[in-house]
């Protein structure tokens, strides 16, 4: 059995989740607790990948990162590098489709505690950065962790957009979902079944761990209260 799809999927999901976690927190922090003109439009754009078919997302990525796209042309001209048909393309696809989940969780997390706690620390002379790391981040951590786990699980299962921008190159871009699809297409149902089971177990374990952690922290919160 070739385990490349497993290692590649974990690599792609891990890297994309790191990007999603960092930028999801930054964007949610900047937008969630402020009201301004055009906020609904910005949030709608951020959440758009949740409702669009993966093939549409993949087409959009090809439009920007393909050889004829302005980003793709720039990279090819100045760095002799292309993103299409590489594992980096798979990372970008996973990042785009999982970002809305992280943003939603982070946005809710930053709105679920009293903002006066932060204001009190600021009036006492604490810097905004210190307030974020010592107050905002710890208070929002349960929601941020939920978004992190959901984004990782979504990245593991990404198929449509990844197939369009990364394609199917054995040993290079064959993540588990893509390996399943082409195994079925080529009549290797045993291989497809094996990877289906692996993907289900990974997703199930991620969700089970998140539920266990959430319940444990809820019980701890009730006992402290």
* Chain length of the chain: 225
Q: Do residues 27 and 103 make contact, with C-beta atoms less than 8 angstroms apart?
A: yes
- Res 104: pLDDT: 93
Query: How many CB atoms are closer than 10 A to CB 133?
Result: 11
How many angstroms from the chain centroid is the CA of residue 78?
Answer: 29
The full set of domain ranges for the chain reads 4-224
* pLDDT, tens digit only, all 225 positions of the chain: 788 999 999 999 999 999 999 999 999 998 877 788 888 899 999 999 999 999 999 999 999 998 888 898 999 888 888 999 999 999 999 999 999 999 999 999 998 887 888 888 888 888 888 989 998 998 899 899 999 999 999 999 999 999 999 999 988 999 999 999 999 999 999 999 999 999 999 989 988 888 888 777 666 655 655
Nearby residues of 62 by Cβ (< 8 Å), 6 or more positions away: 69, 84, 164, 165
CB 27 within 8 A of CB 46: yes
**CA atoms of 20 and 40, how far apart (whole Å):** 21
Instruction: Pick the closest to residue 19 from 87, 132, 98 (CA basis).
Output: 98
Q: Are 177 and 161 in contact (CB under 8 A)?
A: no
Q: Which pLDDT score is estimated for 164?
A: 93
pLDDT tens per residue, range 118-152: 888 888 888 888 989 998 998 899 899 999 999 99
What is the distance of C-alpha 82 from the center of its chain?
22
- Least Cα distance to 19 among 99, 74, 134, 119 occurs for 99
Distance from C-alpha of 56 to C-alpha of 58, rounded to nearest angstrom: 5
CATH for 4-224, among 3.30.420.40, 3.20.10.10, 3.20.19.10, 1.10.3720.10?
1.10.3720.10
CB 166 within 8 A of CB 86: yes
pLDDT for the residue numbered 218: 61
Q: Do the beta carbons of residue 115 and residue 128 sit within 8 Å?
A: no
pTM of the model: 0.90
At residue 116, the pLDDT reads 84
**pLDDT the model gives residue 220:** 64
CA distances from 165 to 45, 83, 162 (A): 21, 8, 5
Q: Are 81 and 98 in contact (CB under 8 A)?
A: no
Of residues 98, 94, 103, 168, the one with CA closest to residue 140: 103
Residue in the block written with tokens 């999982």: 98
Q: Which pLDDT value is given to residue 192?
A: 94
């Amino acid at each position: 059995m070739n385990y490349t799809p497993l290692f590649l999927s974990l690599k792609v999901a891990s890297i994309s989740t790191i990007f999603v976690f960092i930028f999801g927190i930054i964007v949610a922090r900047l937008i969630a607790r402020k009201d301004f003109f055009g906020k609904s439009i910005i949030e709608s754009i951020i959440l758009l990948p949740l409702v669009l078919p993966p093939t549409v997302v993949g087409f959009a990525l090809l439009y920007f990162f393909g050889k004829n796209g302005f980003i793709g042309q720039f990279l090819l001209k100045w760095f002799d590098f292309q993103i299409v048909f590489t594992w980096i393309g798979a990372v970008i696809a996973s990042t785009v489709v999982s970002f809305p989940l992280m943003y939603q969780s982070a946005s809710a997390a930053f709105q679920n505690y009293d903002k006066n706690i932060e204001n009190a620390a600021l009036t006492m002379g604490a810097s905004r950065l210190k307030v974020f790391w010592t107050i905002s981040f710890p208070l929002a951590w349960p929601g941020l962790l939920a978004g992190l786990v959901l984004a990782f699980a979504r990245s593991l299962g990404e198929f449509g957009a990844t197939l369009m921008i990364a394609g199917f190159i054995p040993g290079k871009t064959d993540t588990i979902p893509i390996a399943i699809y082409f195994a079925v297409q080529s009549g290797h149902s045993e291989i497809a079944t094996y990877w289906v089971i692996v993907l289900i177990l990974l997703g199930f374990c991620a969700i089970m761990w998140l539920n266990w952690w959430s319940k444990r922290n809820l019980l701890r919160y009730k006992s402290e209260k």
